[in-house]
Chains A and B, each alone.
Chain A
Amino acid sequence: MTRLAEYKKERLDKLAAASADTGGVSLWGDALRRLSRNPVAIIGAVIIGLFILLAIFAPLLTGHDPYARQLIEVRANSGEIPGPQPGFPLGVDQEGRDFLARLIIASRQTLLVGVFATLIGLAIGTVIGSLAGAFGGWVDTLAMRFVDIMLAIPSLLLAISLVAMVQHPNQWTIIIAVAIVQTPIFARLLRGTMLAQRESDHVLAARALGVRRHSIVLRHMLPNAMSPVIVQATLALATSILDAAALSFLGLGDPNPDRAEWGLMLAQAQRFLDASKILAIWPAVAIILVALGFTLLGESMREAIDPKNRR
């Protein structure tokens, strides 16, 4: 960027900040404005948007039934998995099913796993964190000790041991395990921001006005403490998808061979690498892209709400 452009930008930013100070633009409004100007955030949002559209319209986009065997000869174990051919742009998978159709339909399962794992983790973490942050004292100590212990186990190992407890794991086992692993992070984060809120002037004002305690917590503290948590949730979407893929790779995933999910497809494809590399590459590319999308958006959100970047 040239000096002049930089100068202009700085001037505009100062102007915007000045108007924010007087006009009372909220933290989120300010953050959103900065987000919409950040190309990284836009790229992330576009990637995620495309994947969501893909998931919504998946059944309309698949040419063949993703669960049906096609009339193509496949001998996966002796290294014969037919590649791209007319009607099948990406060929078939080790079971002789349309690979492209499975790849598309899998977007649903993968996003589902990520979203549910994150939402459940977020919900539990929010309850623990806001209780600890709002009440302080022994509630805080107890909750944070518990959280520290959960954080003391590397997350993937914790998820592994949770899944190992279940005799017949399925998709929900993975979702719950990944969600539990995410919980302490959210709890810890929210507790910190809630504690900061407790000391703030507007909470003091609300208390002085005689606002009821649960109303202070729910309406004055929680909404103001949520923004870092939402940022973390965006980043957590990426890690939950990656963690779920790792669990699948370790053989802890859903044993149902029909299930189309990128992590599972990637894990299954490892066994047939000699026969076909694209069976592993495409699910991996999809996972990387979707994880990258959430990471890009999450990181730019983190930057946007950081008061240090407010000018």
Chain B
Amino acid sequence: MLRVIVRRLLQMVVTLVALSVLVFVWLRNLPGGQVSAMLDERATPERRALLEKALGYDQPVWKQYFNWIKLVLSGNFGNSRVGGQGLVLDEIGRGFPATMELSSAALIFAIGLGIPLGYMAARYKGRLLDNTTILGTLVGVAVPVFFLGYVLKVIFAENLHWFPASGRASTGLDATHVTNFFVLDGLITREFDASADAIHHLILPAITLGTIPLAVIVRITRASVLDVLNEDYVRTAEAKGLRARTIRGRHILRNAMLPVTTTIGLQIGLLLAGAVLTETVFNWGGIGSLLKDSITVRDYPTLQALLIMAAGVYVVVNLMVDLSYAVIDPRVRVR
């Protein structure tokens, strides 16, 4: 087990180092170069010279790379042009809870609905439920995320008025924010109406963002349950006369969860990309909105920081998935 962890960690370090080289190359190829990317247009020549010296443009490339790494590790991505003149890191800090909240809600929606649905589809393979589910997942993947968002918004917010059309909280609601996770804040401060309001705002965006992961999770659950159903040990368990519920829980679901876990991990990385589109549609004000804005004004420091962060999250999530394998499947520990 320990060996698995150490090996994975080493692999992660290698990946991150290579990734940083990639981002470094990307940065140097930006229009106007790295210095213009880190400063805004109004920067004085003195500041420009200062930064050029700090980055060591007269030094060899590998040294410049290490200097840049030092800047990145200290969290200094320069100033953000998007939200006033704040530091990039502050902007990200502000948006992060919003995106995390949205992504978690989307994931809860996708997993909570996806695994039971996939399991039922596998159990009733070839029947109406199975066929409609499969068709639904195929259509779900084919719908552009932002279009789905607009459709939900027009139908359920603008016409039926069931849900709010945009934002994270109703205006005029006096809520205290401790963590900036609005649902959590309401629970901590015991302002339960604020929590309910935040959840009310979350529903449409979460469905929008969660639809593709939902479709993928349903399909992988169905496929892997079908695989497991034909395994010898399931037949053995049945022959032994174990209760159906035990077989379902211990033998089928537990073994079928392995590929599902991997897929969920992969989906978490993709959620970040989907969040860009969803947050734009629902005016969410998280990382995704920040990314969209930084694209519009070509705010490279913000873009760069977001890119590094997204890749970092992805790599860490993948590591966690690998490790959870070891927990779910004892066979992995031996290897």
A296–B139 Cα gap in the complex (Å)?
Answer: 9
Would you call A145 and B18 a contact (CB within 8 A)? yes
Interface: B269 (CB within 8 A):
yes
Task: Give B215-253 interface residues, CB cut-off 8 Å to A.
Answer: none
Contact of A165 among B18, B29, B269 (CB under 8 A): B29
B270: A residues at CB distance < 8 A: 154-156
Task: Give B109-158 interface residues, CB cut-off 8 Å to A.
Answer: 126, 138-139, 141-147, 150, 154
Chain A interface residue count, Cβ-Cβ cutoff 8 angstroms: 40
From known contacts A152-B15, A167-B31, A242-B142, infer whether A161 and B276 are also in contact, taking CB-CB under 8 Å. no
Flag B281-298 by CB within 8 Å of A: 1 or 0 each: 000000000011001101
A263: B residues at CB distance < 8 A: 144
Closest Cβ neighbor of B298 among chain A residues = A164
A273–B22 Cα gap in the complex (Å)?
Answer: 40
Interface: B273 (CB within 8 A):
yes
Contact of B142 among A166, A238, A251 (CB under 8 A): A238
A167–B32 Cα gap in the complex (Å)?
Answer: 10
With both chains docked as a complex, state the minimum distance between the C-beta of B221 and any C-beta of chain A, in angstroms: 16
Interface: B10 (CB within 8 A):
no
A250–B292 Cα gap in the complex (Å)?
Answer: 6
A292: B residues at CB distance < 8 A: 138-139, 142
How would you classify the secondary structure of chain B's contact residues: helix, strand, loop or mixed?
helix
Contact of A149 among B22, B272, B298 (CB under 8 A): B22
Flag A231-246 by CB within 8 Å of B: 1 or 0 each: 0000000100010011
B280: A residues at CB distance < 8 A: 249-250
How would you classify the secondary structure of chain A's contact residues: helix, strand, loop or mixed?
helix
Would you call A284 and B310 a contact (CB within 8 A)? no
Task: Give A18-40 interface residues, CB cut-off 8 Å to B.
Answer: none
B13: A residues at CB distance < 8 A: none
Q: How large is the interface on B (under 10, 10 to 19, 20 to 34, 35 or more residues)?
A: 35 or more
Would you call A288 and B29 a contact (CB within 8 A)? no
Flag A56-70 by CB within 8 Å of B: 1 or 0 each: 000000000000000
Would you call B315 and A161 a contact (CB within 8 A)? no
Would you call A149 and B19 a contact (CB within 8 A)? yes
Would you call A287 and B307 a contact (CB within 8 A)? no
With both chains docked as a complex, state the minimum distance between the C-beta of A48 and any C-beta of chain B, in angstroms: 13
Closest Cβ neighbor of A1 among chain B residues = B126
Flag A153-179 by CB within 8 Å of B: 1 or 0 each: 111110011001111000000000000
A148–B145 Cα gap in the complex (Å)?
Answer: 26
With both chains docked as a complex, state the minimum distance between the C-beta of A220 and any C-beta of chain B, in angstroms: 30
Flag A279-311 by CB within 8 Å of B: 1 or 0 each: 010001001110110011001000000000000
Interface: A92 (CB within 8 A):
no
Would you call A245 and B144 a contact (CB within 8 A)? yes
A289: B residues at CB distance < 8 A: 142
A249–B314 Cα gap in the complex (Å)?
Answer: 24
A167–B37 Cα gap in the complex (Å)?
Answer: 13
Would you call A161 and B303 a contact (CB within 8 A)? yes
Would you call A155 and B150 a contact (CB within 8 A)? no
Flag A126-161 by CB within 8 Å of B: 1 or 0 each: 000000000000000000011011001111110011
B307: A residues at CB distance < 8 A: 153, 157, 161
Contact of B314 among A154, A245, A270, A295 (CB under 8 A): A154
Interface: A277 (CB within 8 A):
yes
From known contacts A164-B295, A292-B142, infer whether A266 and B272 are also in contact, taking CB-CB under 8 Å. no
From known contacts A157-B310, A280-B147, infer whether A145 and B14 are also in contact, taking CB-CB under 8 Å. yes
A1–B146 Cα gap in the complex (Å)?
Answer: 39
A242: B residues at CB distance < 8 A: 142, 144
Contact of B277 among A1, A146, A148, A246 (CB under 8 A): A246
With both chains docked as a complex, state the minimum distance between the C-beta of A72 and any C-beta of chain B, in angstroms: 25
A238–B219 Cα gap in the complex (Å)?
Answer: 17
- Please indicate which of the listed interface residues A246, A280, A287 has the most CB atoms of chain B within 10 Å of its own CB: A246
Flag B307-321 by CB within 8 Å of A: 1 or 0 each: 100110011001000
With both chains docked as a complex, state the minimum distance between the C-beta of A286 and any C-beta of chain B, in angstroms: 11
With both chains docked as a complex, state the minimum distance between the C-beta of A21 and any C-beta of chain B, in angstroms: 22
B66: A residues at CB distance < 8 A: none
Closest Cβ neighbor of A293 among chain B residues = B142
Interface: B26 (CB within 8 A):
yes
Would you call A249 and B146 a contact (CB within 8 A)? yes
A152: B residues at CB distance < 8 A: 15, 19, 311, 314-315, 318
Interface: B49 (CB within 8 A):
no
With both chains docked as a complex, state the minimum distance between the C-beta of B63 and any C-beta of chain A, in angstroms: 23
From known contacts A160-B291, A164-B303, infer whether A155 and B142 are also in contact, taking CB-CB under 8 Å. no
Beyond the given A245-B144, A280-B150, A288-B142, could you list 19 further A-B residue pairs with CB under 8 A, ordered by the A residue number? A145-B15, A149-B18, A152-B15, A154-B273, A154-B314, A156-B270, A165-B26, A238-B142, A246-B146, A246-B277, A250-B277, A266-B144, A270-B150, A273-B150, A284-B147, A287-B147, A291-B141, A292-B138, A299-B138
List the interface of chain B (C-beta within 8 A of A): 14-15, 18-19, 22, 26, 29-31, 126, 138-139, 141-147, 150, 154, 269-270, 272-274, 276-277, 280, 291-292, 295-296, 298, 300, 303, 306-307, 310-311, 314-315, 318
The 7 closest A-B pairs by CB, nearest first: A156-B273, A291-B142, A292-B142, A154-B273, A284-B147, A167-B31, A149-B18
Please name 15 pairs of A and B residues whose Cβ atoms are closer than 8 Å in the assembled complex, sorted by A.
A154-B269, A154-B273, A157-B306, A164-B300, A165-B31, A238-B141, A242-B144, A251-B295, A280-B150, A284-B144, A288-B143, A291-B141, A291-B142, A292-B138, A295-B138
